[in-house]
Structure 1
Amino acid sequence: MAKGGSSSGSFSVLGADVTITGNISATTELHIDGTVEGDIDCASLVQGDGSQITGEVTAETARLAGRVDGSIHARELVILRSATINGDVHYEALTVEQGAAVQGRFAPRDAAPPKASAPSNTASSSTTGSATSSSTTADLGISPFSSDNDSDTDRASASASNTSNYY
């Protein structure tokens, strides 16, 4: 388990022949080519294509190319085409290459923790924990496809209430 100092150029590498059972915490970049069975919390994670992580990943930046079985929390996340993710993905900035396999939900991370009294903020931000697909489309002034007679009324009221958001 690597704990880096304040040196900005340091990083830790787990080779392809290394298996770690337990949680890993690092303050600098962590490069994993081996197997980790436990949670990872680091500043920056680079995962090689042959590696496997079974546990939750928390990082400021992550570049994943191997297999992850667990949820991922990253400010900037890149999922390469060789990656296989089985778990929910929470991000602020996301890049997914064509061919990557993800079994889970994508959800933008909130800049601040969600508050219990946040329903009034739902219209101003579509990334709150309480936002759903239908409220997100209403916030954007887009009416979901519907065969009922109320769709014209919903579309008119949604665009009338959100006209100022487009200018």
Structure 2
Amino acid sequence: MGTIPVAKASSSSGSFSVIGGDVTITGNIAASTELHVDGTIDGDIACSSLVQGETSKVNGAIKAESARLAGTVEGSIDARELVILRTATIKGDVHYDALTIEQGAAVDGRFAPRGHGKSAVAPPVAASGDTGGDDEPKLSIAT
């Protein structure tokens, strides 16, 4: 599945792209400007700024400098500035620098400041069934 470049519309405050409520896109989206989504996206979104309408649904990861979410997201979110409105429903992990959540928003996932999620996680430990044939867990200490 490739990335779909989004056409830009011009306004007095800069350029932006709009995906209307009657539009469903299957595939990843990359936009260098503000993206306003009212439709359904089955894929990842990478953009400078994302504004999601209440009726919108995103089934994929979101990566943006700023995001204002009001619809449904099923996937991880990585944003420098994130606003989750009361109408939003999010199923996935959220990474942020600045976070605002309105009362009534539903989030099923973990919150972590950006940059802290990966470095703070301990390395995976081998499961007892993955020890080279015997059921005895193994521990090695480096000297």
Structure 2 residues not aligned, in runs of 5+ = 123-143
Q: Quote the residue 2:28 is aligned against.
A: 23
Question: Across the two proteins, how many residue pairs are aligned to each other?
Answer: 116
1:125-140 to structure 2, matched below 5 A, reads 129-130=119-120
Which is helix-richer, 1 or 2? 1
Aligned-CA RMSD value: 2.2
* Alignment match of 2:84 (pick from 79, 84, 98): 79
Deviation per residue, 1:15-55 (Å, 9 max, x gap): 00000000000000000000000000000000000000000
* Alignment match of 2:6 (pick from 2, 7, 18): 2
- Partners of 1:128 and 1:102 in 2: CA distance: 21
Give the 4+ runs in structure 1 shifted more than 2 A: none
Greater relative CO (CA pairs within 8 A, separation 6+): 2
Inter-CA distance 90–23: structure 2 relative to 1 (3 Å threshold): same
Identity among equivalent positions (%) equals 66
Checking the alignment, whether the CA contact within 8 Å between 1:3 and 1:25 is kept in structure 2 is: no
Structure 1 residues not aligned, in runs of 5+ = 115-126, 133-167
- Give the deviation of 1:131 after TM superposition: 7.0
Which is strand-richer, 1 or 2? 2
TM-score, structure 1 normalization: 0.65
Checking the alignment, whether the CA contact within 8 Å between 1:63 and 1:78 is kept in structure 2 is: yes
